[in-house]
Structures are given as C-alpha cells and as structure tokens.
C-alpha cells in the first residue's frame, strides 16, 4: 500500500481552520503582558574603580526595628552633631542610589561639580537651583550614566548589558565630563 503524501498547503489550511475553530470556542489568545522592568541599581551594575570598592548602607543597631536611623544618631550624638549631618547626607543619597551607596564616589561627584562650576552652569542653563543640578548629576550617576574614574575625573558612561556598551559587554567610558582639578583633589583629601 502506498503511503499518503501530506501536501504542505493542505496541512497549513487544516491547522489554520483548527486554530480558527478553537478561537471561536474559547476566544482569542490573551496578549502577553510584559513583566515590569526591575530597576537596576548602580550597586547591581558593579562599576569598576577605586571609588566603588566600599558601599555604605544607613541602618539602625540590631534590635531597634521600626526606628529611623536619623533618630538613633540624633539621640546618641545630638541633632546638631557632625554624625547627624553625615546621616542626613546618607539618607539623601539613599533616596537617589537605593540602599547601597557609593559614598566616596557620590561625595567626590558632588564636591567636584560644585568646585568646578559645572553645577552652577547647569543650574543657570536650566533655570534651576544648584542643589537641583547636583541632584540631577547624582541621578545620572545612580543609573550608571556618569562614573568617577580612578584619577578623580568624571566620565559619561554606558553601563554593561545595554545596546551601546563596550564590545565585551562591559562598561564604555564615552566622554570625560569633568577633569579633577588639583584644588578639588586637595579639598577632597581634607575631608
């Protein structure tokens, strides 16, 4: 007995008819709902360099759940202490960077932006305050679009795993945005 040959056109027609009948019975297939994009923090991107070796996380001592870190510091050292100012700064950074903060890089970026005049220039150009301009730079930094290089200069970068990252899938340092002037480096050394 000879084998029946399946005509590809007939097979496609049967499959299309089967799908149409199923769609009539159960309705159209639901559209795939994309999963929400999980935001990636700078810490997760693992930036290279000396400024990204240590990360801080504002926390409270063990056993003091439900208490804000600033309340603990103010109670122990006083509201006008240097420690309280440092904790306020860390909490401001945590709003931008998330729970893991590259304190050395963030402080360097802020100091350099103010000393070099970049923050003032950006504020004047955009009709915003200098503090808002610095916050904008921190926001770019927290997304990995600005990084502090080992020499203290600030670079426009492309994070790994993005379409324009380096060919090996790593960080791409695109353009130097701020040179680290000697005065800025000396001011940082005094902190």
CA atoms of 141 and 132, how far apart (whole Å): 14
- Among the residues of 32-129, which ranges form H helices? 42-45, 69-77, 82-97, 103-116, 118-126
DSSP letter (8 states) at residue 172: E
Structure tokens of 115?
């000393």
The CA-CA-CA angle for residues 182, 187, 189, to 5°, reads: 95
- Provide the 3-class DSSP secondary structure of residue 176: strand
Output phi, psi for 96, to 5 deg.
-95, -50
Structure tokens of 130?
């200098």
Per-residue pLDDT of the chain (191 residues; tens, 9 = 90+): 555 667 888 889 999 999 888 888 887 666 766 666 666 899 999 999 999 999 998 887 777 777 888 888 898 899 999 999 999 999 999 999 998 999 999 999 999 999 988 899 999 999 999 999 999 999 999 999 999 999 999 999 999 888 888 888 889 999 999 888 665 455 545 55
Which residues have a Cβ under 8 Å from the Cβ of 107 and sit 6 or more positions away? 188, 191
Of 74, 101, 99, 96, residue with least CA distance to 85: 74
8 A C-beta contact, residue 45 and residue 160? yes
Instruction: Please identify which residue in the block is written with the tokens 């029946």.
Output: 4
């Amino acid at each position: 007995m000879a084998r029946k040959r399946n005509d590809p056109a007939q097979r496609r027609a049967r499959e299309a008819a089967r799908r149409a009948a199923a769609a009539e019975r159960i309705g159209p297939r639901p559209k795939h709902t994309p999963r929400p994009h999980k935001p990636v923090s700078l810490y997760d991107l693992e930036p290279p360099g000396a400024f990204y070796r240590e990360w801080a996380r504002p926390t409270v001592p063990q056993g003091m759940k439900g208490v804000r870190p600033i309340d603990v510091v103010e109670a122990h050292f006083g509201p006008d202490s240097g420690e309280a100012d440092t904790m306020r700064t860390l909490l401001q950074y945590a709003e931008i960077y998330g729970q893991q903060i590259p304190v050395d890089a963030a402080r360097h970026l802020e100091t350099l932006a103010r000393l070099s005049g970049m923050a003032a220039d950006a504020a004047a150009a955009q009709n915003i305050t200098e503090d808002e301009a610095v916050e904008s730079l921190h926001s770019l930094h927290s997304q990995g679009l600005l990084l502090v290089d080992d020499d203290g200069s600030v670079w426009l970068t492309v994070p790994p795993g993005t379409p324009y990252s380096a060919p090996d899938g790593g960080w791409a340092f695109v353009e130097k945005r701020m040179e680290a002037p000697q005065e800025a480096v000396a001011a940082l050394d005094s902190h």
